[in-house]
Structure 1
Amino acid sequence: MTLANTLAALPLAVRKLNPRTMVHSPVMFTVLIGSLVCTLVSVQQLAAGSPAAVFSIWVTVWLWLTVLFGNLSEAIAEGRGKAQADSLRAARTSVMARRRVPARVSAPSGAASGLGAGFAEELVAGTDLAVGDIVVCEAGDLVPSDGDVIEGLASVDESAITGESAPVIRESGGDRSSVTGGTRVLSDRIVVRITAASGKTFLDRMIALVEGATRQRTPNEIALNVLLASLTIVFVVCVMALAPMAQFAGALPTPVVLVALLVCLIPTTIGALVPAIGIAGMDRLIQHNVLATSGRAVETAGDITTLLLDKTGTITYGNRRAVEFVPADGVDPRVLAATARLSSLADETPEGRSIVELALPRAGGSGPVTGPVTGPEELTPDVEVIEFSAATRMSGLNLPSGHPANPGTGVLEVRKGAASAVVSYAKERGGFEPQEVEEAVLEISGTGGTPLLVAVFDGGRARILGTIHLADVVKPGMTARFAELRAMGIRTIMITGDNKITAGAIAGEAGVDDFLAEATPEDKLEVIRREQRAGRLVAMTGDGTNDAPALAAADVGVAMNSGTSAAKEAANMVDLDSDPTKLIDVVGIGKQLLITRGSLTTFSVANDVAKYFAIVPALFAATFPGLGLLNIMGLHSPESAILSAVIFNAIIIVLLVPLALRGVKYRAVSAARALSRNLLVYGLGGVIAPFIGIKFIDLAVALIPTIG
């Protein structure tokens, strides 16, 4: 919390002094009423020339500062959100859209060229688009509104939304079909079906939520406010009952003293910080590029007991990667690597690129079985590329004589593919499947991997050189993260459409607690409902339309921004970075929010103990000398004691604002240990800090002649 942020938030804090705003916080509204009463009393005393006017004015000033500081904490938190909203608003620009219309509708002058049979384009303002309209976006165009790609594939710059400079691919027919208004198409051409009307786009909702305009109080926050209101009512009754008792004893305090007593005894610290804690929790999520549609979702994340994670793209990289080459007997491993690389040079799939990447450092100077490589391996025009097809289940190259990788006199055929397909290919050309290759295929399959065979044919007899082991690789650090979740008391379940063997292998490697293989959307939904029936709170990530029912049913559903509109609408959080593992961070932020609120509540209530020892002896020590024993702080005078307590009560709010915004650090420990630490640090600390603070303030206040 910098000085600049504080000064910028002051005007908003002053505006929040409006009673219609303050009434939503029972504690601070009570302080506001007390400040008004003290102001009237001070003016009356000043007009009458009473010596008590100076003391009353000092108390009144600090009571008003208490109200202002309470508003300041919320204003600073909201100021952060407004700054983020301004940066998001900069991405929302008014653009012209190329809307697709039937060809029979005459396009206005300036309309773009036709789209083909039956369609034309018309230029319209992006704000005029309606749900269901179809627009065309090409390289350099801004996407006019939220939608789903229904034709084409393009590279899109989403840095204005996510802050990530690297472009992303958006394409039709998959789980990465969603585009957001305000992003820019960098290459190619896409056709988009609009899914959000003007003013209701994803960016509009983000701005409203970040600014806090639609922030609703969470159940825990409501419960805490009820508790604080109840405590306030109790202390109001106690102070009101104190007046006639004090009058009977001949020691009736002034209204200013009674208000000071009330303000110091009610939980003003936590009452002032509750809104800031909630807003800061949302802010921490946004700093992680996660948008929560409600504070309830953030709090619920802190109580999650079951976490469902999709295997593909979450626990694993999502694309099978080459992890090992297993050569047949008598085959140089470098020869197998070089041949596998050759077979994948024209393969643009993630699997093909991973084979080239793995083979490059292992190939050495050796080429295919026919001889060493004497020159660069290039896809020259005379090289015939054999594309993969469902019929052949193989791909590769036909290298002509004279190619650097083919020193022979005939065409060299290089193939890689499914084991059964490559074995059939080799046998048709006089080859056979070596026993060790067959064993390698069975072993790789048994561990959940995918075996690919590599073969060559130079016109004589085909040879199977060995096996490529493809595996869905677990992301680094996942095992440690799941162990951390287990320490939090969270059970992890991996969801996958893979067979049980593959799922079991990945689950064992990753360290999840359970897994569900060959899962359908109905299966995911049933797992969530089963966990909820057992009294557990469930969180889930997803990005596809088939994930939407489960995302809606989960207590916390996190959709990927790259996913479909259906998934984002069903979830109560959206990850702008499309990083499924971030759900683990979301759980930590939710727990931090709950711990922060609990810790500061403990500190606030504990504060009252010290204030009691400061004010009560000051009020009645003159009438009842025995109460002087309670003045264990040795405060200078009744007036300095009361004013010191009021000043401390105001200053402690400001000192705790950074902690409320930053949050109490969460540690993955048991609930019992967390409670013990909370009581030791914030309970005992809340008792000790006021004794020290009030004493030092009293020493300074005693120097004021009219008070000390």
Structure 2
Amino acid sequence: MKPIDDSTFVARSRTGRDSGSDRESPVKRDLTRRRPRATTTTLQVQPLLLLVESFKRLNPTSLARNPVMAVVAIGTLICALYTALAFAESNGQGGFALSVTLILLATVLFANAAEAVAEARGKAHAGSLRATRGELKARRLTHSGEETVAADRLRRGDRVRVSAGELIPADGEIVQGAGSINESAVTGESAPVLREAGTDNSGVSAGTKLLSDELIVEVSVDPGESLLDRMIALVEGASRQKTPSELALSVLLSTLTLVFLIVVVTLVPMARFVGIETSTVMLVALLVCLIPTTIGGLLPAIGIAGMERAMRANLIAKSGKAVEIAGSIDTLLLDKTGTITLGDRRATEFAPCHGIDMKRLREVAGICSLEDPTPEGRSIVVLAREQGASLADEQGASLTPAEDAEVVPFSATSRVSGLDFADGRRWRKGAPNAIARQVEEAGGRLPDDYEALVERISRHGATPLAVAEGNVLLGVIALSDVIKPGIAERFMQLREMGVKTVMITGDNPITASAIAAEAGVDDYIAEATPERKLALIREEQAAGRLVAMMGDGTNDAPALAQADLGLAMNSGTQAAREAANMVDLDSDPGKLLEAVEIGKQLLITRGALTTFSLANDVAKYFVILPAIFAASVPALGGLDVLGLHSPASAVLSAVIFNALVIPALIPFALRGVRVRATGASAMLRRNLLIYGLGGLLLPFPAIKLIDLVVGLLI
């Protein structure tokens, strides 16, 4: 992170992970990460395999997971029995009973196919991942040297040696060495990234390829728990569990099914009272038409498709609940660097205090930054040399402070770093208020123009970094940051959807205010510490709001675990990845915004199709019942607005429409409803207008058209 941002500077200062040679630029990454994955989006499902899979799911165990379709399956069996009896008795009802039976069977198969298609979209990817996992070998270190073993024999705590050109055999932490790694096997991105021992950027994943140097990796997972295993389980849907909201909706659909079952049963004595004989087959068909079969058949596919969309965005959710929660988030906590800004700040100005020589400021700042691997530290050295600082000894060799001074690393507590020389000199650079406090404690006096320099740099949106030599405050360095293109528009869309955005930064309040105003966030927290993040999450949750945040360091783990949605960077530490409920394979801090959009799309799609399905049921109720009773009860003739051919054709037409609407909506369920930047009330009105009114009107012309065809055949 940036030198005065408490929450992430430790990671960045020790890794330099944003160096241009080791990592693609954020702008390029933002463009490339959105390209579709060929393995998932261009997948063509073979019809024969889909049919086989649909029949496999007719087993009672699979059907029991979907009560609505289980009722349809039971109704199919009942109709099959009555079909056999009708043909045995030759009572003339065999053809009608057989037609209803086949249509009901098709309804169940279509529902099974919807779920199978959703899972099949990821199975091609899973196949390649399984092949990658099966080929992995490891050079495990032992007391006597090393041995070559299959990767699935590795256990947590084992250490392996990986050389350039080899695949990393298991998830783990680098304990020795540094190297460039190609993670395209799991992320789809070919740009190499830098991983280094002893930093927050030391995590590695099985199946990725080491391009340079040699590493010693300590395995952090047992077989079956690696990132590859989680990805395979996710895309195959093997471990998908129903989310709380999906369970609640299932209970609602089951309740509606029970209500309509009671309604259909009560129709029997009513029909006999008016002199109408109703067959069991007709009653079963009527029940299937009235219960919410459309959403019942598509509900599993919607959930799987939501997780698959997250997978295509390189977001690994540990459960479907994580994707769903992302769509219900009320507050987003966003780090400034890498999320709101490009995260590649550069030193643009040395501003000495009154009476301080510019040359001295440049020399002290440059030498303090020689061993700072962050982009900010390197940029200070570059700017100092461009402006004439030699940063070299009498022989012309670059100074190496570690040889004659002790390096003081940055810490979240002190918020400063620097050098302690053997002769007692102390050079420091860091947050302005922290440097000022240390100067005063050393007996120094703050220059009169110091606060004005800090305020001037901050008001221009740059970050001030103070430099001191002992008890003398030399001046301020301006570190300029760049807001990501289009980020303000995305925040505006989130605001319109009712999501509050809070920028968290270690910058001083003036700089934070300038960046927040330019980015368009709703609120900001300046000079934040990890403890402040955790406290803020708890405050928001206590107010009844769902909170999301991202992080990559060990110090982020408590906040990630506390947040309702914790998004960890794959490049971060194992502690962060274990604490979070979602992992971003691209390690792109801005992906948190995309996770929210994917979650909202899942919820909106589920709501839209539920509205459409229930509206369909209401329409079918007013289409079928008048057609059945109009002949015997003339008063109901006025309600038979469609003038259907006969009661039998009315039931058949409704059952056929009920079956066909499920496959017709499968592409819609998989693609998802387009997310619009509107509030909840506006979105509800839109859904009711489009999917409610549309679901209410569509059955009338569709059933009439089918009835015309059926009337010609019977």
TM-score, normalised relative to structure 1: 0.80
User: 1:91, 1:161 within 8 Å by CA — same for their partners in 2?
Assistant: no
Find 1:506's aligned residue among 509, 512, 515. 515
User: 1:551, 1:570 within 8 Å by CA — same for their partners in 2?
Assistant: yes
Q: Residue 168 of structure 1 corresponds to which residue in structure 2?
A: 193
What code does the residue aligned with 2:496 have?
A
Deviation at 1:246, TM superposition (A): 1.5
Find 1:677's aligned residue among 679, 686, 692. 686
Q: Deviations over 1:185-226 (max 9, x none)?
A: 110112111100122212112211221111111111111111
Q: Residue 657 of structure 2 corresponds to which residue in structure 1?
A: 648
Change (3 A) 1:218 1:359: same
Change (3 A) 1:325 1:634: farther
Q: Deviations over 1:537-569 (max 9, x none)?
A: 000100011111111110000000111111111
Find 2:668's aligned residue among 648, 659, 662. 659
Q: Residue 279 of structure 1 corresponds to which residue in structure 2?
A: 304
User: 1:177, 1:563 within 8 Å by CA — same for their partners in 2?
Assistant: yes
Change (3 A) 1:579 1:66: same
Residue 80 of structure 2 is aligned to residue 39 of structure 1? yes
User: 1:6, 1:76 within 8 Å by CA — same for their partners in 2?
Assistant: no
Q: Deviations over 1:565-607 (max 9, x none)?
A: 1111111100011111111111111111111111111111111
Find 1:67's aligned residue among 90, 108, 129. 108
Deviation at 1:347, TM superposition (A): 9.7
Deviation at 1:508, TM superposition (A): 3.2
Which stretch of the first structure deviates more once superposed, 605-614 or 640-649?
A: 605-614
CA distance in 1, matches of 2:567, 2:134: 27
* Mapping for residues 124-203 of structure 1, pairs under 5 Å: 124-203=149-228
Residue 641 of structure 2 is aligned to residue 632 of structure 1? yes
Deviation at 1:81, TM superposition (A): 2.5
Residue 486 of structure 2 is aligned to residue 477 of structure 1? yes
Residue 316 of structure 2 is aligned to residue 291 of structure 1? yes
SS in 2 for 1:585: helix
SS in 2 for 1:635: coil
Find 1:91's aligned residue among 132, 136, 142. 132
User: 2:45, 2:120 within 8 Å by CA — same for their partners in 1?
Assistant: no
SS in 1 for 2:712: coil
* Mapping for residues 284-433 of structure 1, pairs under 5 Å: 284-323=309-348, 350-351=375-376, 384-387=397-400
Q: Residue 556 of structure 1 corresponds to which residue in structure 2?
A: 565
What code does the residue aligned with 2:101 have?
T
CA distance in 1, matches of 2:669, 2:264: 30
What code does the residue aligned with 1:288 have?
A
CA distance in 1, matches of 2:95, 2:678: 52
CA distance in 2, matches of 1:293, 1:355: 41
5+ residue gaps, structure 1, are 108-119, 329-336, 371-378, 395-416, 421-434, 454-463
Find 1:591's aligned residue among 588, 592, 600. 600
Deviation at 1:177, TM superposition (A): 0.7
CA distance in 2, matches of 1:563, 1:608: 50
User: 1:393, 1:418 within 8 Å by CA — same for their partners in 2?
Assistant: no
User: 2:80, 2:101 within 8 Å by CA — same for their partners in 1?
Assistant: yes
CA distance in 2, matches of 1:130, 1:185: 21
User: 1:325, 1:469 within 8 Å by CA — same for their partners in 2?
Assistant: yes
User: 1:607, 1:686 within 8 Å by CA — same for their partners in 2?
Assistant: yes
Change (3 A) 1:349 1:298: closer
What code does the residue aligned with 2:631 have?
A
5+ residue gaps, structure 2, are 1-41, 354-361, 408-427, 433-447, 468-473
Which stretch of the first structure deviates more once superposed, 653-662 or 8-17?
A: 8-17
User: 1:556, 1:571 within 8 Å by CA — same for their partners in 2?
Assistant: yes
CA distance in 2, matches of 1:629, 1:581: 59
User: 1:322, 1:468 within 8 Å by CA — same for their partners in 2?
Assistant: yes
User: 1:62, 1:650 within 8 Å by CA — same for their partners in 2?
Assistant: yes
CA distance in 2, matches of 1:530, 1:57: 62
Q: Residue 256 of structure 2 corresponds to which residue in structure 1?
A: 231
Find 1:27's aligned residue among 68, 72, 82. 68
- Misfit runs of 4+, over 6 Å: 324-328, 343-348, 355-360, 367-370, 388-394, 417-420, 435-442
Find 2:632's aligned residue among 623, 636, 644. 623
User: 1:94, 1:127 within 8 Å by CA — same for their partners in 2?
Assistant: no
SS in 1 for 2:703: helix
What code does the residue aligned with 2:56 have?
R
- Which structure has the larger Rg over C-alpha atoms? 1
* Identical counterparts, % of pairs: 57
Which stretch of the first structure deviates more once superposed, 348-357 or 235-244?
A: 348-357
SS in 1 for 2:132: coil
Q: Residue 236 of structure 2 corresponds to which residue in structure 1?
A: 211
Residue 484 of structure 2 is aligned to residue 443 of structure 1? no
Residue 55 of structure 2 is aligned to residue 14 of structure 1? yes
Cα RMSD between the aligned structures? 3.6
Q: Residue 528 of structure 1 corresponds to which residue in structure 2?
A: 537
Residue 622 of structure 2 is aligned to residue 613 of structure 1? yes
CA distance in 1, matches of 2:558, 2:158: 25
What code does the residue aligned with 2:523 have?
D
**Higher RCO structure (Cα 8 Å, ≥6 apart):** 2
Matched residues, number:
622
User: 2:429, 2:465 within 8 Å by CA — same for their partners in 1?
Assistant: yes
TM-score, normalised relative to structure 2: 0.80
